[in-house]
Amino acid sequence: MSHRQTRFWLATSALALSITASATDIIQCPIGTNYLAPANASARIRLETCVDALGRKQGPFRLWRNNNGTLSAEGTYRDGFFDGVLRDYNDSGVLLGETLYAGGALIAQVPTLATLQAALDEENIKANTEGKQQTLTMLDRHTLGIDYVKNFPLSILFAAVSGKELNEEIRHKLASNPAFCQAFKLPENPILRVRARWFDGQGKLLGETWIRKEECRDQSAP
């Protein structure tokens, strides 16, 4: 992705946080195009956009769900192709993810924190049913938080060392653990750093450490 595309993406992403679309609004069409009122693009979706004299879609567009009238997606056309940022929403209006296009070509996809956390929540439920006392949380788009409860999976270390020695020992042990290092291998959303914390059985914070991606020594790597 070029620096210009990245700046455009960041600027439009920030703007999107303050905009809530409504079916009663009308998109602003570029000069020389005509407004195309929402019409069925499929059995489930209605398309609202603008067209030029050649019938090509130009400028902003929105996709509306037929069953409940909510916004499904919004973005921009150029000469009939997706161009710029395409945003997808769920039925409640929560932004699910963004996809960057250039002349119809897909450049990059980025899920939102809410989407990433939803995936982690499934892992948390699974871990809980397996008796694993840990919680995964997205702290920001590239930072993963892992909270451990005493006796899992570091019981020997808890019994052996304490304080700063504990922090450093756990940091080295986690950075050498292949399973832990898998956290850095998410192609759709690269994790660059992990915050690991551990608590006693009453919820008291016992220690905290940070591991950067470059520190993780994945023993399963060739």
Q: What is the pLDDT along the chain (222 residues), one digit of tens a residue?
A: 544 444 444 444 433 433 345 556 789 999 999 999 888 877 789 999 999 999 999 999 999 999 999 999 999 999 999 999 999 998 888 888 889 999 999 998 777 777 778 878 888 888 888 877 788 888 887 888 888 876 545 444 444 444 556 667 777 777 777 767 777 765 556 788 888 888 877 778 877 888 888 887 654 443
Q: Give the β-pairing of 193-199 and 143-149.
A: parallel
pLDDT on residue 22: 57
Number of domains in the chain: 2
Residue 123 included in any domain: yes
Q: Which of 82, 111, 140 lies at the terminal end of a domain, its last residue?
A: 111
- For residues 91 and 163, membership in a common domain is answered with no
Parallel/antiparallel/unpaired status of strands 34-40 and 81-82: unpaired
Q: Is residue 94 in a domain?
A: yes
For residues 36 and 59, state if they share a domain.
yes
Domain span at residue 86? Answer: 3-111
Q: What local confidence, expressed as pLDDT, does residue 74 receive?
A: 96
Q: Are residues 103 and 130 in the same domain?
A: no
161 and 96 assigned to the same domain: no
Say if residue 127 is in the same domain as residue 101.
no
pLDDT at 165: 60
* 10 and 106 part of one domain: yes
Predicted TM-score (pTM) of this structure: 0.54
> Within this chain, do residues 147 and 132 fall inside the same structural domain, yes or no?
yes
Asked if the structure places residue 106 within a domain, the reply is yes
> What is the distance between the alpha carbons of residues 46 and 90, in angstroms, rounded to a whole number?
15
Q: Which of 111, 127, 161 is the last residue of a domain?
A: 111
Q: Do 69 and 124 share a domain, yes or no?
A: no
**What's the Cα-to-Cα distance from 65 to each of 40, 73, 87, 98, 192, rounded to whole Å?**
10, 9, 14, 18, 37
The verdict on 137 and 88 lying in the same domain is no
Domain boundary among 93, 111, 129: 111
CA distance 100 to 107: 5
Residue at 190 is within a domain: yes
The pLDDT of residue 186: 59
Q: Is residue 127 situated within a structural domain?
A: yes
CA-based torsion, 148, 152, 154, 160: positive or negative: positive
Tell me the two tokens of residue 61.
């567009």
